[in-house]
Chain A
Amino acid sequence: MADKTGSEQETIGHHIRNTVFATDVSALGDGEGLSVGSDIYGTIEIWTNSSATTTAELLSKWASHKESCNDGCKDWSL
Protein backbone atom coordinates (compact mmCIF):
# COMPACT_ATOMS: atom_id res chain seq x y z
CA MET A 1 0.00 0.00 0.00
CA ALA A 2 1.33 3.40 -0.92
CA ASP A 3 2.38 5.77 1.85
CA LYS A 4 -0.36 8.09 3.05
CA THR A 5 0.29 11.77 2.46
CA GLY A 6 -0.15 14.43 5.09
CA SER A 7 -3.33 15.60 3.37
CA GLU A 8 -4.77 12.07 3.37
CA GLN A 9 -3.89 11.67 7.04
CA GLU A 10 -5.64 14.91 7.92
CA THR A 11 -8.71 14.15 5.78
CA ILE A 12 -9.34 10.75 7.36
CA GLY A 13 -8.70 12.14 10.84
CA HIS A 14 -11.30 14.87 10.37
CA HIS A 15 -13.77 12.39 8.87
CA ILE A 16 -13.50 9.99 11.79
CA ARG A 17 -13.54 12.63 14.50
CA ASN A 18 -16.16 14.95 13.08
CA THR A 19 -18.47 12.41 11.40
CA VAL A 20 -18.09 9.03 13.07
CA PHE A 21 -17.50 10.42 16.56
CA ALA A 22 -19.54 13.64 16.24
CA THR A 23 -21.85 12.71 19.12
CA ASP A 24 -18.95 11.68 21.34
CA VAL A 25 -17.05 14.91 20.65
CA SER A 26 -20.07 17.06 21.45
CA ALA A 27 -20.42 15.27 24.78
CA LEU A 28 -16.87 16.06 25.93
CA GLY A 29 -16.63 17.99 29.16
CA ASP A 30 -13.98 20.32 30.53
CA GLY A 31 -10.54 18.80 30.45
CA GLU A 32 -11.71 16.00 28.20
CA GLY A 33 -10.45 15.30 24.71
CA LEU A 34 -10.89 12.93 21.81
CA SER A 35 -8.21 12.68 19.16
CA VAL A 36 -7.60 10.56 16.09
CA GLY A 37 -4.08 9.71 14.96
CA SER A 38 -3.33 8.68 11.40
CA ASP A 39 0.12 7.90 10.05
CA ILE A 40 2.05 7.43 6.85
CA TYR A 41 1.58 3.66 7.01
CA GLY A 42 -2.23 3.79 7.03
CA THR A 43 -2.65 3.13 10.73
CA ILE A 44 -5.40 4.72 12.81
CA GLU A 45 -5.19 5.24 16.56
CA ILE A 46 -7.89 6.70 18.76
CA TRP A 47 -7.57 8.28 22.19
CA THR A 48 -10.02 9.79 24.61
CA ASN A 49 -10.32 10.56 28.28
CA SER A 50 -14.03 11.17 28.00
CA SER A 51 -16.15 10.27 30.99
CA ALA A 52 -19.00 9.32 28.66
CA THR A 53 -17.22 6.75 26.52
CA THR A 54 -14.03 4.71 26.38
CA THR A 55 -11.30 4.28 23.81
CA ALA A 56 -12.35 0.64 23.38
CA GLU A 57 -15.92 1.70 22.61
CA LEU A 58 -14.69 4.21 20.06
CA LEU A 59 -12.47 1.62 18.40
CA SER A 60 -15.43 -0.73 18.10
CA LYS A 61 -17.61 2.06 16.79
CA TRP A 62 -15.12 2.94 14.07
CA ALA A 63 -14.60 -0.72 13.13
CA SER A 64 -18.36 -1.06 12.56
CA HIS A 65 -18.51 2.19 10.62
CA LYS A 66 -15.57 1.14 8.43
CA GLU A 67 -17.51 -1.81 6.99
CA SER A 68 -19.96 0.46 5.19
CA CYS A 69 -17.89 3.63 4.87
CA ASN A 70 -17.56 5.19 1.42
CA ASP A 71 -15.27 8.00 2.59
CA GLY A 72 -11.98 6.13 2.62
CA CYS A 73 -12.01 4.35 5.99
CA LYS A 74 -11.55 1.00 4.26
CA ASP A 75 -8.05 2.07 3.24
CA TRP A 76 -7.02 2.39 6.91
CA SER A 77 -6.57 -0.07 9.75
CA LEU A 78 -6.00 -0.11 13.48
Chain B
Amino acid sequence: MAFTSPKNWVADEIVVASGSGSLNEQIRDNLLVLSTHTHTGAAGMGSATLSNVTLTGLNTSTFSDQSSNPSTNGRLQRNGAALLYYNGSTAVNLTASDQAAATASMRTLGTGATQAAAGNHSHTLTFAEVQIVTDTGSYSSWSTGASNEEEITTVNITPGAATNRAVIITFAGISKDGQNNPGLSGGWTIKLKYGSTTVKTVTGSSGYSGSGAAPPVMASYTPNSTSTQAVSATANPAGQTWGGGAVVIMYGSMGAIEVSGTP
Protein backbone atom coordinates (compact mmCIF):
# COMPACT_ATOMS: atom_id res chain seq x y z
CA MET B 1 0.00 0.00 0.00
CA ALA B 2 1.35 3.37 -1.00
CA PHE B 3 0.88 6.73 0.62
CA THR B 4 -1.78 8.84 -1.13
CA SER B 5 -1.21 12.54 -1.33
CA PRO B 6 -3.92 14.26 0.77
CA LYS B 7 -6.60 15.97 -1.25
CA ASN B 8 -7.80 19.53 -0.84
CA TRP B 9 -11.24 19.57 0.67
CA VAL B 10 -13.75 22.19 -0.45
CA ALA B 11 -17.02 23.33 1.06
CA ASP B 12 -20.18 21.19 0.72
CA GLU B 13 -18.28 18.04 -0.42
CA ILE B 14 -19.95 14.68 0.21
CA VAL B 15 -17.84 12.31 2.30
CA VAL B 16 -17.74 8.72 1.00
CA ALA B 17 -16.33 5.56 2.62
CA SER B 18 -14.32 4.13 -0.20
CA GLY B 19 -12.70 5.08 -3.45
CA SER B 20 -10.56 7.97 -4.51
CA GLY B 21 -10.76 10.81 -2.04
CA SER B 22 -12.72 8.73 0.49
CA LEU B 23 -12.20 8.80 4.24
CA ASN B 24 -10.78 5.25 4.13
CA GLU B 25 -8.22 6.24 1.56
CA GLN B 26 -7.31 9.62 3.00
CA ILE B 27 -7.20 8.73 6.69
CA ARG B 28 -7.22 4.97 7.33
CA ASP B 29 -4.97 3.89 4.51
CA ASN B 30 -2.50 6.74 4.89
CA LEU B 31 -2.23 6.16 8.68
CA LEU B 32 -1.61 2.49 8.01
CA VAL B 33 1.16 3.40 5.62
CA LEU B 34 2.75 5.79 8.10
CA SER B 35 2.64 3.28 10.96
CA THR B 36 4.01 0.32 9.06
CA HIS B 37 6.28 1.69 6.36
CA THR B 38 9.98 0.89 6.12
CA HIS B 39 12.70 3.38 5.17
CA THR B 40 13.07 2.38 1.56
CA GLY B 41 14.29 5.70 0.26
CA ALA B 42 11.16 6.05 -1.93
CA ALA B 43 9.26 9.33 -1.81
CA GLY B 44 7.56 9.71 1.55
CA MET B 45 9.11 6.53 2.94
CA GLY B 46 12.28 8.05 4.35
CA SER B 47 15.79 6.67 3.98
CA ALA B 48 17.97 4.41 6.13
CA THR B 49 20.85 6.77 5.43
CA LEU B 50 20.91 10.18 7.06
CA SER B 51 23.11 12.96 5.75
CA ASN B 52 23.74 16.56 6.73
CA VAL B 53 22.34 15.81 10.16
CA THR B 54 23.43 17.50 13.38
CA LEU B 55 22.76 15.47 16.49
CA THR B 56 22.48 17.22 19.83
CA GLY B 57 21.74 15.78 23.22
CA LEU B 58 22.58 12.29 21.99
CA ASN B 59 22.51 9.92 24.93
CA THR B 60 24.01 6.73 23.57
CA SER B 61 25.07 5.37 20.23
CA THR B 62 25.34 1.67 19.55
CA PHE B 63 27.40 0.42 16.64
CA SER B 64 26.57 -2.87 15.01
CA ASP B 65 29.46 -5.17 14.20
CA GLN B 66 30.53 -4.68 10.57
CA SER B 67 33.18 -7.44 10.86
CA SER B 68 35.61 -5.28 8.91
CA ASN B 69 37.60 -2.11 9.24
CA PRO B 70 36.40 1.21 7.79
CA SER B 71 38.00 2.31 4.54
CA THR B 72 36.04 5.48 3.79
CA ASN B 73 37.64 8.71 4.89
CA GLY B 74 36.11 10.00 8.11
CA ARG B 75 34.11 6.84 8.89
CA LEU B 76 33.74 5.43 12.38
CA GLN B 77 32.99 1.70 12.38
CA ARG B 78 32.89 -1.27 14.72
CA ASN B 79 34.81 -4.44 13.90
CA GLY B 80 34.15 -7.08 16.52
CA ALA B 81 34.74 -5.37 19.85
CA ALA B 82 37.02 -2.71 18.36
CA LEU B 83 35.92 0.75 17.25
CA LEU B 84 38.00 2.11 14.39
CA TYR B 85 38.26 5.43 12.59
CA TYR B 86 39.55 5.75 9.04
CA ASN B 87 41.73 8.86 8.73
CA GLY B 88 42.29 8.68 5.00
CA SER B 89 45.17 6.24 5.11
CA THR B 90 44.80 4.07 8.20
CA ALA B 91 41.99 2.51 10.18
CA VAL B 92 42.95 3.75 13.63
CA ASN B 93 41.79 1.48 16.43
CA LEU B 94 40.35 3.84 19.03
CA THR B 95 39.86 1.14 21.61
CA ALA B 96 43.32 -0.45 21.54
CA SER B 97 46.08 0.76 23.83
CA ASP B 98 49.87 0.75 23.56
CA GLN B 99 49.98 0.55 19.80
CA ALA B 100 53.27 0.93 17.91
CA ALA B 101 55.21 4.09 18.69
CA ALA B 102 54.18 5.85 15.48
CA THR B 103 50.50 4.92 15.83
CA ALA B 104 48.18 7.17 17.78
CA SER B 105 46.48 5.23 20.57
CA MET B 106 45.71 5.27 24.24
CA ARG B 107 48.72 4.48 26.42
CA THR B 108 48.95 2.71 29.72
CA LEU B 109 51.46 4.02 32.24
CA GLY B 110 54.69 2.14 32.53
CA THR B 111 58.25 1.90 31.34
CA GLY B 112 57.65 -0.16 28.18
CA ALA B 113 58.62 1.14 24.75
CA THR B 114 54.99 1.80 23.81
CA GLN B 115 53.79 2.95 27.22
CA ALA B 116 53.52 6.47 28.57
CA ALA B 117 55.63 7.66 31.47
CA ALA B 118 53.73 8.81 34.52
CA GLY B 119 53.76 12.55 35.07
CA ASN B 120 55.43 12.12 38.44
CA HIS B 121 58.20 9.81 37.24
CA SER B 122 61.78 10.65 38.08
CA HIS B 123 65.22 9.94 36.73
CA THR B 124 68.35 9.04 38.60
CA LEU B 125 71.29 10.69 36.94
CA THR B 126 74.67 9.08 37.07
CA PHE B 127 77.87 10.83 36.15
CA ALA B 128 81.25 9.47 35.23
CA GLU B 129 84.60 11.10 34.76
CA VAL B 130 85.83 10.63 31.20
CA GLN B 131 89.21 12.37 31.31
CA ILE B 132 91.25 15.08 32.95
CA VAL B 133 93.71 17.25 31.05
CA THR B 134 96.00 19.78 32.70
CA ASP B 135 98.49 22.50 32.00
CA THR B 136 100.68 22.90 35.03
CA GLY B 137 102.16 26.26 34.27
CA SER B 138 102.53 28.94 31.62
CA TYR B 139 102.68 32.71 31.72
CA SER B 140 102.68 35.96 29.82
CA SER B 141 104.22 39.30 30.68
CA TRP B 142 103.18 42.89 30.16
CA SER B 143 105.07 46.15 30.26
CA THR B 144 103.78 49.02 32.32
CA GLY B 145 100.58 50.46 30.91
CA ALA B 146 99.96 47.59 28.48
CA SER B 147 96.35 46.67 27.71
CA ASN B 148 96.62 43.65 25.42
CA GLU B 149 95.01 40.23 25.90
CA GLU B 150 97.52 37.38 26.17
CA GLU B 151 97.15 33.67 26.71
CA ILE B 152 98.50 32.52 30.06
CA THR B 153 97.67 28.81 29.98
CA THR B 154 96.23 26.28 27.54
CA VAL B 155 95.63 22.57 27.12
CA ASN B 156 94.04 20.49 24.39
CA ILE B 157 91.01 18.31 24.97
CA THR B 158 89.30 15.77 22.70
CA PRO B 159 85.82 15.07 24.11
CA GLY B 160 84.69 11.47 24.22
CA ALA B 161 81.16 12.57 23.31
CA ALA B 162 79.73 15.80 21.98
CA THR B 163 77.13 16.02 24.74
CA ASN B 164 79.56 15.55 27.60
CA ARG B 165 80.29 18.44 29.93
CA ALA B 166 83.71 19.99 30.34
CA VAL B 167 84.46 21.65 33.66
CA ILE B 168 87.34 24.09 33.41
CA ILE B 169 89.34 25.49 36.30
CA THR B 170 92.12 28.03 36.02
CA PHE B 171 94.47 29.54 38.57
CA ALA B 172 95.87 32.87 37.48
CA GLY B 173 98.50 34.49 39.64
CA ILE B 174 100.42 37.74 39.41
CA SER B 175 104.14 37.92 39.98
CA LYS B 176 105.80 41.16 40.94
CA ASP B 177 108.88 40.00 39.08
CA GLY B 178 111.06 42.14 41.30
CA GLN B 179 108.84 45.15 40.80
CA ASN B 180 106.29 46.84 42.97
CA ASN B 181 103.00 45.12 43.46
CA PRO B 182 100.92 46.12 40.42
CA GLY B 183 97.83 46.57 42.53
CA LEU B 184 95.69 43.68 43.68
CA SER B 185 92.61 45.89 43.59
CA GLY B 186 93.12 46.44 39.89
CA GLY B 187 91.10 45.24 36.99
CA TRP B 188 92.58 42.22 35.27
CA THR B 189 90.20 40.62 32.83
CA ILE B 190 90.51 36.83 32.74
CA LYS B 191 88.77 34.84 30.03
CA LEU B 192 88.23 31.10 29.79
CA LYS B 193 87.90 29.86 26.23
CA TYR B 194 86.89 26.60 24.65
CA GLY B 195 88.33 26.80 21.15
CA SER B 196 87.37 30.26 19.95
CA THR B 197 84.32 30.44 22.23
CA THR B 198 84.62 32.57 25.36
CA VAL B 199 82.86 30.59 28.04
CA LYS B 200 83.56 32.81 31.03
CA THR B 201 84.88 36.30 31.67
CA VAL B 202 85.99 37.60 35.04
CA THR B 203 86.33 41.35 35.23
CA GLY B 204 88.39 42.95 37.96
CA SER B 205 90.26 39.83 38.92
CA SER B 206 93.15 40.54 41.21
CA GLY B 207 94.74 37.23 40.41
CA TYR B 208 95.32 34.34 42.75
CA SER B 209 98.08 34.91 45.25
CA GLY B 210 99.52 33.17 48.20
CA SER B 211 97.12 35.06 50.44
CA GLY B 212 94.19 33.89 48.36
CA ALA B 213 93.19 37.28 47.08
CA ALA B 214 91.01 35.84 44.35
CA PRO B 215 89.33 32.51 43.75
CA PRO B 216 90.17 30.34 40.75
CA VAL B 217 88.23 31.04 37.58
CA MET B 218 85.83 28.22 36.84
CA ALA B 219 83.31 27.40 34.14
CA SER B 220 81.58 24.47 32.51
CA TYR B 221 80.65 23.98 28.88
CA THR B 222 79.12 21.42 26.54
CA PRO B 223 81.14 21.55 23.33
CA ASN B 224 78.63 19.74 21.04
CA SER B 225 81.63 18.39 19.15
CA THR B 226 84.22 15.67 19.53
CA SER B 227 86.95 17.51 17.67
CA THR B 228 90.11 18.42 19.51
CA GLN B 229 90.01 21.96 20.86
CA ALA B 230 92.31 24.14 22.90
CA VAL B 231 90.98 25.10 26.29
CA SER B 232 92.75 28.27 27.32
CA ALA B 233 92.80 31.23 29.66
CA THR B 234 93.79 34.74 28.71
CA ALA B 235 94.56 37.79 30.78
CA ASN B 236 94.38 41.49 30.00
CA PRO B 237 95.62 44.15 32.44
CA ALA B 238 93.60 46.96 30.85
CA GLY B 239 92.36 49.07 33.73
CA GLN B 240 94.95 47.64 36.08
CA THR B 241 96.31 49.87 38.81
CA TRP B 242 100.00 49.68 38.07
CA GLY B 243 102.26 49.87 41.05
CA GLY B 244 105.22 51.40 39.37
CA GLY B 245 107.04 48.31 38.14
CA ALA B 246 108.20 47.98 34.55
CA VAL B 247 106.93 44.46 33.97
CA VAL B 248 104.21 42.29 35.43
CA ILE B 249 103.83 38.58 34.86
CA MET B 250 100.59 36.61 35.06
CA TYR B 251 101.11 32.91 35.61
CA GLY B 252 98.40 30.47 34.75
CA SER B 253 97.65 26.81 35.23
CA MET B 254 94.51 24.99 34.35
CA GLY B 255 92.67 21.72 34.32
CA ALA B 256 89.66 20.52 32.41
CA ILE B 257 87.52 17.58 33.48
CA GLU B 258 85.20 15.91 31.01
CA VAL B 259 82.14 14.38 32.63
CA SER B 260 79.48 12.18 31.04
CA GLY B 261 75.96 11.91 32.37
CA THR B 262 73.44 9.10 31.98
CA PRO B 263 69.77 9.54 32.90
Contacts and interface: CB of A to CB of B under 8 A. Distances in A.
B229 interface: no
A49 B203 contact: no
A69 interface: no
Contact of A28 (B185, B191, B200, B202): B185
Contact of B213 (A13, A16, A25, A49): A49
B205 interface: yes
Contacts of B206: 32-33, 35
A64 to B, nearest CB: 20
Nearest to B187: A17
Contacts of B203: 10, 13-14, 16-17, 35-38
A31 B168 CA distance: 26
In this complex, the interface size class of chain B, counting residues with CB under 8 Å from chain A, is: 20 to 34
A34 B184 contact: no
Nearest to A49: B213
The interface residues of chain A, by DSSP majority, are classed as mixed
B198 A40 contact: yes
Nearest to B207: A33
B214 interface: yes
Contact of A36 (B198, B204, B209, B213): B204
A39 B239 CA distance: 20
Nearest to B185: A28
Contacts of A17: 187, 203-204
Contact of A9 (B201, B204, B205, B239): B201
A71 to B, nearest CB: 14
A30 interface: yes
Contacts of A25: 185, 204
A6 B204 contact: no
A39 B185 contact: no
Interface in A1-53: 3, 5-6, 9-10, 13-14, 16-18, 25, 28-40, 47, 49
B178 to A, nearest CB: 19
Contacts of A32: 184-185, 206, 213
B225 to A, nearest CB: 15
16 contacts: A9-B191, A9-B198, A9-B200, A10-B201, A14-B203, A31-B184, A33-B205, A33-B206, A35-B204, A37-B200, A37-B201, A38-B203, A39-B219, A40-B200, A47-B214, A49-B212
